[in-house]
Amino acid sequence: MAMAGGEPTLMPVSAMCTPAFVARVVRSRWFVVFASMVVMAASGSTYIFALYSKELRSTLGYNQQTLNTLSFFKDLGTNVGVVSGLVQQVAPTWAVLLIGAAMNLAGYLMVYLALDRRTAAPPVWLMCVYICVGANALTFSNTGALVSCVKNFPESRGIVIGLLKGFVGLSGAIYTQLYLAIYGDDAKSLVLLIAWLPAAVYIFFVHTIRVLPYRRRGDGEELDSKPFFCFLYISIALAAYLLVMIVVQKQVRGFSHAAYVVGAAALLLILFLPLAVVVKEERKNASHLERALQQPPSIAVEHPTPTKEADGEPATSCVGRMFRPPELGEDYSIMQALVSVEMAVLFVVSVFGIGGTLTAIDNMAQIGQSLGYPAKSINTFVSLISIWNYAGRVGAGYLSEMLLARYRFPRPLALTAVLLASCVGHLLIAFGVPGSLYAASVIIGFCFGAQWPLLFAIISEVFGLKYYSTLFNFGSAASPIGAYVLNVRVAGRMYDAEAARQHGGVAVAGDKICKGVMCFKRSFLIITGVTFAGALVSLLLVWRTRSFYKGDIYARFKVAPATAATSAAAAAEASSPEVEEKKGTEKNKKDGVHEHVSN
């Protein structure tokens, strides 16, 4: 049918049922986004630690400090993804995903066997290894999916990061619905689910997630962001559906297993709905290509700009280059980024900001229990954190991108605002105002989610994309340090000390719990203080990048006006998945040679 405004006739539906069109869809850059969204939705099992931590306490006899130690190793595995980043630099994406699948299955399967008493109760250090290995698998899936999408859509990186990390935020609620439908209300089976399901998803999409060459657009050409907003609306619908299901299941007594199955089926339908957007986009691109091939292309010649070494500047040593970084936004080497002031500030922000919110999330069940909230409310807090975690991730990604494009609003300043907002949530927990834990869970979940896309987008913008897979993992590796100090050394010890005082000075073990505001008051006052200090430190990054964010940070991804006279035929042909795949192979070979020589 003909479209308004001179648009080409779309291909008939019969042509969409051919193997050639299906192959085109699967090899397209938009399918990479869809596959990455599903992978990320399966990659947030670490955020539901609170749902099975009680099972660890009762079955294995752990006290609160031991649980916090396990939580620290879970956070350590989740956030220390330097190895996955280095693997991504030298290996294809499919290898990264396969390694993640194997580690996830091995780690969490051993935790399940210990909980189900099919193996002897492991010592605490070995259980820490199991959880760390299983959680570290998520860094491989995140690296493979996130880096591929950011490099495929560099001018929409804030949106891409927010969208993908948003699905990670929803994954806790998704897992809850799936395990209730498959296994019923059994925390041990939840651990079994997070052992096999992520591995199966990674293997299913292993050959579809990859980096494709990016076609630079001219100055007058608008960026096509409509599919991303379609993805956003679908993800909002998914979050709203999960929210409704959580409320209904908590309010309706005797919610049957059949109802859980029907709800999970509807959930999967919404989760795979973005595939329709991908098919629509590829149908439109195929129609554009068919029309463009009927027109002769024009050719523009772009003369390369001479480099500094070509102008006769002497080459410096490796150490000299490390302390002479390029301009902000250019491709930093790994060492240039690691010794920079900007990375040091991001490291401090990650320790203080993300470490504090991680402590609140991991202890939410114990906080609710100590303040006297009923079990239903505590489960609601844990589930709703996933929803607000999603809202923070998606909201920060889309809003920061919009503010940056329209008003040149710097992303580091948005990060400062999020840190200040999280202080409010910590104070609500510290003072234990009746009913305030509902608001605190919303604030903590939103702020925790918002920090990740802002942090990852800032790293990609300031240090470039060449070594992004390694650098963004370095940026997130600092948060376990804050989680260990604030969660284990501060919150865990103070909780156990107060519980011991309430039990007459007897050491706390097993199911002995602490009651009252004092259980977490002092620890969260300390967390509030260090988070506020992190917000002050982040202002240094705002100051150092103020000139950078006032300019066009995506200028390098646009064609210069003098060379932008490329025809529609060349543009359409370049967007063909077959051509993209061929160019990507050639480009990867050239990049590999270049990196080998430069190193």
Per residue in 469-496, pLDDT tens?
A: 889 888 778 887 888 889 888 998 898 8
Q: Is 265 exposed, middle or buried (0-12, 13-18, 19+ CB in 10 A)?
A: exposed
What letter does residue 307 receive in the DSSP assignment?
Answer: P
Q: Is the pLDDT of residue 288 over 70?
A: no
CB-facing half-sphere around the CA of 277: CA atoms within 13 A: 24
Q: Which among 106-120, 282-296, 383-397, 470-484 has the top mean pLDDT?
A: 106-120
Report residue 296's pLDDT band, with 50, 70 and 90 as the boundaries.
low
Q: Over pLDDT 70: what percentage of the chain?
A: 82
Instruction: Please state whether 408 falls in left (phi above 0), alpha (psi between -120 and 50) or beta.
Output: left
Q: Is the pLDDT of residue 589 over 50?
A: no
18-27, 100-109, 153-162, 288-297: which range is least confident on average?
A: 288-297
CA separation (Å) from 312 to 309, 324, 377, 498, 598? 5, 18, 69, 69, 18
- Residue 344: which residues within 8 A CB-CB, separation 6 or more? none
Q: Residue 54: its pLDDT value, please?
A: 79
d(CA 206, CA 550): 39
Q: Residue 508: its pLDDT value, please?
A: 47
d(CA 215, CA 212): 10
Residue 365: how many other CB atoms lie within 10 Å = 21
Residue 558 main-chain phi, psi, to 5 deg:
-110, 150
Q: Residue 570: its pLDDT value, please?
A: 45
Residue 27 main-chain phi, psi, to 5 deg:
-90, 5
Are the beta carbons of 171 and 58 closer than 8 angstroms? Answer: no
Q: Residue 304: its pLDDT value, please?
A: 56
| Average predicted confidence (pLDDT) for the chain | 82
Q: Residue 94: its pLDDT value, please?
A: 94
Report residue 386's pLDDT band, with 50, 70 and 90 as the boundaries.
confident
Q: Is the pLDDT of residue 303 over 50?
A: yes
53-67, 155-169, 438-452: which range is least confident on average?
A: 53-67
Residue 332 or residue 383, greater confidence: 332
CATH class label, 26-277+328-565: mainly alpha
Q: Is the pLDDT of residue 127 over 60?
A: yes
Structure-block tokens of residue 588: 């990867």
Q: Residue 3: its pLDDT value, please?
A: 45
- Residue 491: which residues within 8 A CB-CB, separation 6 or more? 68, 359, 363, 520, 523, 524, 527
Structure-block tokens of residue 236: 């909002």
Q: Is the pLDDT of residue 595 over 60?
A: no
The DSSP code sequence of 133-183 is HHHHHHHHHHHHHHHHHHHHSGGGHHHHHHHHHHHHHHHHHHHHHHHHHHT
Structure-block tokens of residue 280: 């629509």
CA separation (Å) from 135 to 44, 71, 78, 212, 369? 9, 10, 5, 28, 26
Are the beta carbons of 111 and 227 closer than 8 angstroms? Answer: no
Q: Residue 482: its pLDDT value, please?
A: 85
Q: Residue 163: its pLDDT value, please?
A: 92
Q: Is the pLDDT of residue 308 over 50?
A: no
Q: Residue 312: its pLDDT value, please?
A: 45
Are the beta carbons of 52 and 192 closer than 8 angstroms? Answer: no
* Domain segments of the chain as ranges: 26-277+328-565, 566-599
129-150 pLDDT per residue, tens? 999 999 999 999 989 999 999 9
The DSSP code sequence of 212-228 is ----PBPTTSPP--HHH
Three-class secondary structure of residue 455 per DSSP: helix
The DSSP code sequence of 456-474 is HHHHHHHH-STTHHHHHHH
d(CA 441, CA 140): 29
The helix or strand, by DSSP H or E, that contains position 126, with its residue range, turns out to be helix 124-152
Q: Residue 214: its pLDDT value, please?
A: 78
The mean pLDDT of 570-586, rounded to a whole number, is 50
